[in-house]
Amino acid sequence: MHFSGQLDSWYSAVMLETPPRRDTREKILEVAEAAVLAKGFAATSIEELIAAVGITKSGFFYHFKDKGELAKAMMLRYIAHDSQLLDDIFRRGDELNDDPLHGFLVGLKLFAEMLGNLPEAHPGCLAASFCYQDQLFNKDIRELNKSSVLAWRKRFRERLELIAQRYPPRQDVDFEALADMAASNVEGGLILGRLLQDVTILPRQVLLYRDLVKMTFLPDPAR
Amino acid sequence: MHFSGQLDSWYSAVMLETPPRRDTREKILEVAEAAVLAKGFAATSIEELIAAVGITKSGFFYHFKDKGELAKAMMLRYIAHDSQLLDDIFRRGDELNDDPLHGFLVGLKLFAEMLGNLPEAHPGCLAASFCYQDQLFNKDIRELNKSSVLAWRKRFRERLELIAQRYPPRQDVDFEALADMAASNVEGGLILGRLLQDVTILPRQVLLYRDLVKMTFLPDPAR
DNA sequence: TGTACATCAGTGAACGCGCGTTCACTGATGTAC
DNA sequence: TGTACATCAGTGAACGCGCGTTCACTGATGTAC
């Protein structure tokens, strides 16, 4: 998951070697993401986007041949930002600690911290938004969205298996489910955080997930 | 969370002492829920609802003064079904076991089982759907939605505190977060299940949550 | 028991507005020779 | 160095369709006396 707005200038410097003339397109995508997370895709009109960006409707259609192509571009952008963000956070976790378990636990702590300091009032996940409107989109976009979840699964599953080599866990751990819970937990935390308008919920959920991972691989010292 | 379609005849017998002439209204709400979970509220047209139910547009406006009132009625219906479902499941868990922890664990197992046997291909949660479109709704509806999450929090928090009296947990457990995780975990599991089109994801997430609760209160016998 | 009236659960036709999309056009910048 | 042409990044006006909403009306059932 990436969280709109946050670190965007950093991203555009690192990820996109964007020729300056694509600024408008990027701006459309940025505004569109915020609008879609607030009202959904169908209720987000091209009219409001161009008003916010300051171009005409025809200008919009120069960049996207139709509204569906906007959706696809939004998803692609979101996925790229998302994976970049996770790479970055967990790389830093590993830099601080070269044991796979403890590096992961540090990464999760950094992750929780970052989620607690998001500048937006109500962060959200575009994948979740799209999944509750998926009849609006073509197979292309649905596949993209699916792949974004599978990327999370792969990322966390590989890490968990690496950890399991050094810390043989209790019997019968469902690694796939535990890997999926990383994404699931963030999705759920975002929803609760939005509904209750409480930004502390999401980071605390991530820390609970961290506890679960810890308890799964480490004997509890308190017992 | 309630899951549209499932057990509906049972519900309408138990919960609603519905005079038969309100059948049409109920049918509209039922059809609307499925449509909204598939495409979102804005993209769900009154036209398609009346086509599915078999009335005219004016018939619709006899039951709901405008589209916003439909949304509110959907939310109310959803919340009622939802709490009824949870009451039922966890009451049965406690009937099978009068220890608060083990009754809860049985309830969670029953819950996971039920979620694995839902008749729908892609179950979803109306609260989650609405929260990603909340700019469409008035404060009334947003408050309703908020209250539905608070009901989950209260329900699970009370249970966890009851358990803690008999099973003093490790230090520093965030009970509120652990209570919220019940809802969060279901929300996340629903999203992943939808995105990957895999109905096993949700029940497995619930069982992982069950593991977390168990490990929090019970010393691990394997260690 | 019959009649008058009220309510319930709708029908049918019309409305205006906003939306996504199209099309012919344009002025500034880049490239070939 | 100048000229011809191509591409980029848009503009402006018009379109038709579908949507939510309104309004006057109706036939069947329920209730009062």
Residue B6 banded pLDDT, cuts 50, 70, 90: very low
State whether residue B198 sits within 8 Å of chain A by CB.
Answer: no
Closest-CA distance of chain B to residue A212, Å? 6
Q: Which of A132, A133, A157 to mutate to test the interface with B (most CBs of B within 10 A)?
A: A132
pLDDT, tens digit, for every residue of B104-144? 999 999 999 999 999 998 899 999 999 999 999 999 999 99
| Residue–nucleotide distance: B130 CA to D25 C1' (Å) | 37
Q: Which chain A residues touch B188 with a CB distance below 8 Å?
A: 181, 183-189, 191
Residue partners of A198: CB distance under 8 A and separation at least 6: A192
Residue A1 banded pLDDT, cuts 50, 70, 90: low
pLDDT (0 to 100) of residue B171: 76
Q: How far apart are the first and last CA of chain B?
A: 36
Compare CB distances from B38 to A135, A180, A192 and report the shortest one's residue: A135
B33 to chain A: closest CA residue? A132
pLDDT (0 to 100) of residue B45: 98
Answer yes or no: pTM beyond 0.95.
Answer: no
* CA–CA dist B181, B210 (Å, integer): 11
| Residue–nucleotide distance: A56 CA to D14 C1' (Å) | 15
Average pLDDT over chain B, rounded to an integer: 91
pLDDT, tens digit, for every residue of A75-90? 999 999 999 999 999 9
**Looking at the predicted structure, is the pLDDT value of residue A70 above 50?**
yes
pLDDT (0 to 100) of residue B63: 98
For strand D, the positions having any atom within 7 A of a protein Cβ are 8-14, 18-24
**Looking at the predicted structure, is the pLDDT value of residue B191 above 60?**
yes
Residues 112-141 of B with CB under 8 A from A: 124, 127-129, 131-136
B211 phi, psi to nearest 5 deg = -60, -45
| Residue–nucleotide distance: B21 CA to C12 C1' (Å) | 22
DSSP symbols for chain A: ---TTTTHHHHHHHT----GGGHHHHHHHHHHHHHHHHH-STT--HHHHHHHHT--HHHHHHH-SSHHHHHHHHHHHHHHHHHHHHHHHHHHHHHT--SHHHHHHHHHHHHHHHHHT-SSSS---HHHHHHTTGGGS-HHHHHHHHHHHHHHHHHHHHHHHHHHHHSPPPS---HHHHHHHHHHHHHHHHHHHHHHT-TTHHHHHHHHHHHHHHHHHS--TT-
pLDDT, tens digit, for every residue of B53-81? 999 999 999 999 999 999 999 999 999 99
Residues A204 and A196: beta-carbon distance below 8 Å: no
Unique residue bearing structure tokens 């991530």: A206
Average pLDDT value for residue range A42-55: 98
Average pLDDT over chain A, rounded to an integer: 91
Residue partners of A99: CB distance under 8 A and separation at least 6: A166
Average pLDDT value for residue range A173-196: 98
pLDDT (0 to 100) of residue B1: 52
Residues 40-59 of B with CB under 8 A from A: 40-43
Q: Which chain B residues touch A150 with a CB distance below 8 Å?
A: 196
pLDDT (0 to 100) of residue A10: 33
pLDDT (0 to 100) of residue A223: 44
* CA–CA dist A48, A35 (Å, integer): 9
Residues B129 and B36: beta-carbon distance below 8 Å: yes
pLDDT (0 to 100) of residue A4: 45
Is the distance between the Cβ of B43 and the closest atom of strand C smaller than 7 Å? no
Answer yes or no: do A220 and B222 touch at CB < 8 A. no
Give the nucleotide at minimum CA-to-C1' distance from B56: C11
Reading the block at residue B71, the tokens are 């949304």
**Looking at the predicted structure, is the pLDDT value of residue A128 above 60?**
yes
pLDDT, greater one: B9 or B54: B54
pLDDT (0 to 100) of residue A121: 84
| Side-chain-side CA neighbours of residue B155 (13 Å) | 22
Comparing B42-46, B120-124, B216-220, the range with the smallest average pLDDT is: B216-220
Residue B97 banded pLDDT, cuts 50, 70, 90: very high
**Looking at the predicted structure, is the pLDDT value of residue B14 above 90?**
no
Average pLDDT value for residue range A32-36: 98
Is the distance between the Cβ of B55 and the closest atom of strand C smaller than 7 Å? yes
| Residue–nucleotide distance: B22 CA to D29 C1' (Å) | 15
* CA–CA dist A189, A204 (Å, integer): 8
For strand C, the positions having any atom within 7 A of a protein Cβ are 8-14, 18-24
pLDDT (0 to 100) of residue B176: 98
pLDDT, greater one: B10 or B223: B223
pLDDT (0 to 100) of residue A170: 78
**Looking at the predicted structure, is the pLDDT value of residue A11 above 90?**
no
pLDDT (0 to 100) of residue B4: 46
pLDDT, tens digit, for every residue of A147-168? 999 999 999 999 999 999 999 9
pLDDT (0 to 100) of residue B16: 37
